[in-house]
Structure 1
């Protein structure tokens, strides 16, 4: 289970040089127009990457124009909801009465504690009541070798608020937390330790994802996720099942409004990707260049 996938579910932990040209090959666009099925005006589907260096941030004039043209903005969760962070934080508390140290050997726990102090700048005692997955979200930013990071979700929300647009979500926090809670604790423990012991591997994988994202190459991005050494069987629940669940919700939201959907780019491509599923549902979905 890669840290970048966990970060998709804990967006509050997300911490993104403008490209000068956009590729026009099939599947080479982060922005798609949704039309057809009697819609009076188009909606838009945009793929984000939740954690990215400021120098890699990609936001074109066309993306900006489509965001401005929409009536509403829809993210994976309603990040404008003031109760969201509290709900997520509460959901990350270990209800079994275990502490973080109980999931690791004394040697492992010391290693994690030292890493938290030296690299994250946080005393692990402050999060002792939380589940091990919180560590992956805190470690996620270390996958990026850069001093400055920004968030697509935060920037999109900021622009939406300037236009007085309503911000909504595709999922409730509980739905994402339930998925996260279904991951076996030993799998998460393994990834926590790998994040510390194999930082070069994690950075190399993430660098490849960012390169594909900047090239707006959805097929390449999808293949990288599918072939990740750590994703494996998690893909079905984290991507495919959620994508299928989203289609009816997207359909309902676009009936009477133009909506700018911004979700993780890994959700867009493939036979069970949001683009293909929307086409299967009868919509016309075309890239915006």
Structure 2
């Protein structure tokens, strides 16, 4: 159900328009690579006959040379827990739990779980996800009403003040292509505009309801069987993470989207293909090779290190601390965005450093 209309407005921006925009586009992280793998509240409506199309983009890996693929493989091989989306978590005297890396699209290739994973989900006593409010547009709206500074530019600034006229034309053209009047978002922060542009325009990757994405289906199934479902974060936590991003980083990724936004469907398809193969550590190097000048879009901009620390590394630790009580009870099932799993500061290595045995379960 959509949030009720409100008469609240801040400056020249009407939150009535935002309510509809939130319900029709993604709300949360500004970087595409993060947005896809973290929680989304994507509700773009799709035609039923188009929604079941198996693909809507081209796998960019096919455009790479053998040398590029070799270099990507070598780089990924050095990343701890860089392969695999499904893990078994154990400690002496405690029933094992399982950890699934997710990708937040409604594509059936993702939402229809392999039988071994499906069986573990059915048998689990409790489920932990990043946030439990998937599909709850009212909660997202309430959080934004409480913190309008997260969304609105300060001191009367507009997008015109932040980016050059030539790039503004590109951004405006993309917005108009999505049916968004540029004037309606001129006072919004770049992260929100970018996330609107990053949302795929391919029906096969869109959700008629947030519950259609993988995380939403997991929540619905465990609630239906009476299991406990807990959130490792809140919407407010995630909005706070967004609000802490430097403005330069937000602008940099918006400009990157303006330059490469016409290949979002290809980017999504590439991510899905690598995800299904469990090649998580290859995702960002593959996109960087495909878009050598992609900057923040492929995790290569000057400000990306700060973004990675804020939106991935710091949250990894907080989520591990939140999930450990569930793990101590045993027989739990944890589902978080797949990009949270690999790396020295990833969830797998963090759990290992805190005394848990974590092994691939595929």
In the aligned structure 2, how far is the partner of 1:222 from the partner of 1:37? Answer: 36
TM-score normalized by the length of structure 1: 0.79
1:42 aligned onto 2:96? yes
Does the C-alpha gap of structure 1 residues 257 and 81 become closer, same or farther in structure 2, counting only changes over 3 Å?
farther
| CA displacement at 1:287 relative to structure 2 | 2.0
**1:94 to 2:139 alignment:** no
The match for 2:322 is 249
Gaps of 5+ in 1: 18-24
What residue is the counterpart of 2:357 in the other structure? Answer: 284
The answer to whether the 8 A contact 2:34-2:339 is kept is: no
Q: Which runs of 5+ in 2 are unaligned?
A: 1-29, 45-50, 55-76, 208-212
Structure 1 265/8 Cα, relative in aligned 2: closer, same or farther at 3 Å?
A: closer
| Contact 1:7 1:13 survives alignment (8 Å) | no
Corresponding residue of 1:154: 216
Equivalent positions of 1:66-145 (< 5 A) are 66-79=120-133, 82=136, 84-90=139-145, 91=147, 92-94=150-152, 96-98=154-156, 100-101=158-159, 102-105=161-164, 108-118=167-177, 120-142=178-200
Partner in structure 2 of residue 30 of structure 1: 85
**Does the Cα contact within 8 Å between 2:170 and 2:259 map onto a contact in 1?**
no
Q: How far off its partner does 1:36 sit?
A: 1.0
Query: In structure 2, what is the Cα distance between the partners aligned to 1:7 and 1:196?
Result: 18
How many angstroms does 1:248 deviate by?
A: 2.1
- Which of 38, 41, 46 is equivalent to 1:12? 41
Q: Judge conservation of contact 1:222–1:270 (CA < 8 Å) in 2.
A: no
Structure 1 position 152, deviation (Å): 1.4
The higher radius of gyration belongs to 2
Q: What is the TM-score of this pair, normalised by structure 2? A: 0.65
Whole-angstrom distance in 2 between the partners of 1:87 and 1:194: 30
- From the superposition, tell whether residues 76 and 149 of structure 1 become closer, same or farther in structure 2 (CA, over 3 Å): same
Relative to structure 1, the CA distance from residue 97 to residue 62 in structure 2 (aligned partners, 3 Å threshold; closer, same or farther) is farther
Q: CA RMSD in A?
A: 3.4
In the alignment of these two chains, the number of paired residues is 279
